[in-house]
Structure 1
C-alpha cells in the first residue's frame, strides 16, 4: 500500500510541475505570438500543448521506472515473471505427483503388514492346535504302553499302534518345527518392515560438549550448530556415508532456540548433550533433542560419595548391587547428569567390583563399604568409583551415612 501511495504522489507532483511549466510556456508563446516551422501562432500553441502532454507522460513513466522496482518489473520483466510462474507451477505439480506416489506406497505397505499379521495369527493357531494334538498323542501312547504290560496276547497289535503313534508324533513335531520356522521368518519380516535397522535407541546420548559462559548469541549459535554437525557426522559414519556431507540429523527449531538462549543467559559453563528423540533407523531422518545443563564441580578426587554398613556372607552380590544403586542415587542428587539411556552416573571396573563381591562374601557379620571418587568429577560425569571395604568390629555397628 505504501508503494502505491508513493507512486500516486510522484505522478501528482510530476504532472503538476510539467503542466505548470507547459502552461507558462504556452502563455508566453501566445503572448509573443511565436511561430514554429512557419505555422500560425494558434497552431504553434497547440503543438506546444501536445508536446507538454507527451513530456508529462514520458517524465512520469521515466521517474516511476527509475524509483520503483515494481514498475520496472511490469514494463520489462513481465515475460520472465510469467516464465518463472509457469516453472514453479510445474515443480509444484511434480512434487504433488511424488507425494501421491509416496502415499500409495505407504498404503501398500500397510496392506502388506496387515496380511503378514493375519498369516502369523493363523500360524499361531495352527501351532497351538498341533501342540494339543501332540499332547493327546502322547497321552494315547502312554495309555497304550500301560496296556502293553497287562495285555501280552495283544502285543503285535499294540506294537503297531505304538509305531503309528510315534510316526504321528514325529510328523507333528516336524510340522510344528516348520510352522515355528515360518512364524519366525514372518516376524523378522514384520520387524524389518516396521523398524528397519536401528542405529541408535531413543534417549541414547549421541554427542556431548562443554561450552563456556559469557557467549553472545552468535557464538552460542555456532556452539549449538557445531555439536549438531558433530552428531550428523557420527550418524553418517554409522551409515558409512561420512564423505558425502549429507544432512541426516534434524533438531526442532524451537529446541535449538531454547538451547541457544540458555547458553547466552548462563552464569556458569554449560553441558550440551544431543540425544536421540526416537529410534534412529537407517534410511530415515534422525530426529534429535538438545539438552543444556550447568557444568558444576561435584566431587574432587578422594571425596566420599556414599557409605553404608551391609551384611557379609552368601548374599554379597545382591547387597553390593543395592549399594551401588544408592551410590547412583546420591550422585544424581548432587547434580551429576545420568546417562540418558541407562540412568547410571558412574563406572567401576568389573574386576574391582567382582573382587569386592568375593571379599564381602567371605566376611562374616557387618561390613563397612565406602564409595570414593577416583578423580575430579563435574556434572557432565561420569563418576569413576573405587570401593573401600572394612570389617566392622562386633562391639559396634556403623550407621548409614552420605
Structure 2
C-alpha cells in the first residue's frame, strides 16, 4: 500500500482538481451572467441558454481534463486513442502466453520424461559400470590364468622338447643297433647272371644254379667279414620255388632275346636269421661296347679355384646320370651303376693337377656293358 501511494502523481491530481474547479466556477459564472442578461443562443430561451452554457462548460472541463492528461501521461493517451489496438495486443499476448504455457507444459513434460530417461540411463550406466568392473576383474583373472597356463605350456614344451631329444637319441641308438645287427639290407644285390638268347630250359636252370652259387659265395664272404663281431652265422638262404618256376617260364617265352636274372635280398635280415631271396629278371640290351668313350667333358685346370678331385667327383656324378638315362639299371640298395678302380681315380686327379691347358675327360668302358651293368670304366685325360 505504501508503495502504491508513493507512486501517485499528486501534482497532476491537484492540478486537475484545481483546473476543474476553476472551469466549473467560470462556467457557472458565465451561465449566471448570461442568464441575468437573458441572452439567447440559437433562439433558445434564456433559461435553456443558461443550461446549455453550463453543459458546454462541463464538456469543456472534460475535454480540458482529457487533453491535459493525454499530454502528461502516455498510458492515458494510449488508453484513449489506442484501446482496441491495445486490447488486440493483449489478446495476442494472451494467446502467445497460453501457447507459451502449453509449450512450457510440454517442455516440462519432456523434461520430466528426459529426467526419467536420464535416471534409467544412469541406473543402466551404473549397472554397466558394475558389469565392466566385474568383467575387468574376470579379465585380470583370465590374464593371470593365461600367464599361469603359458608358464605351464612353456614348461611342458620344454619337457616335451627334452623328451623328444631323448626319444631321438634313443631312436638313433636303436637305429644304430639295428644297423649294426643287420647282416643284409633289403634290395641288396647278391648276384646276377645273363641268360643268352635261345637258351633251353636246362640252360636256364643251369644259369639259375650258377646264380645261387654266386649268391652263396657273396653271402659267405659278407659273413666272414663280421664273424669276429657277431660270432658264427648259420647260413640259410631261402628261394621261392613258385617264383623260380614262373621266372623260368617267362625267360623261355623271351628266349630269343638276351635276359638278365638278379638275386636280391627280400628284406632286412639280422644276423642269425635266414635270408629270403627275391628274383628279378628282364631284357638285357647292349648299352656300351668295350673301349667306347661313352661320356666326355671338357675342363680347364688352369682356371682360378680349380679343384681336381672335386671336379672329378662331379664328373662321375654326371656320368652316373648319363648311364641311368642310357638304360643302365642301378644296384637297388646303393643306386650305384658301376665301378672305378681307386688307383685309376687318383691317377686321373694327379694328371689334372699337372696339366697346364684345357683338357677333355673321357670315361672308357672296360667291357661290353648290358642293361644289368655294372659299368666298369677307366678314365683318360685327353689334351
TM-score tier (shorter): 0.3 to 0.5
Compute the TM-score of the two structures, normalised by the length of structure 1: 0.43
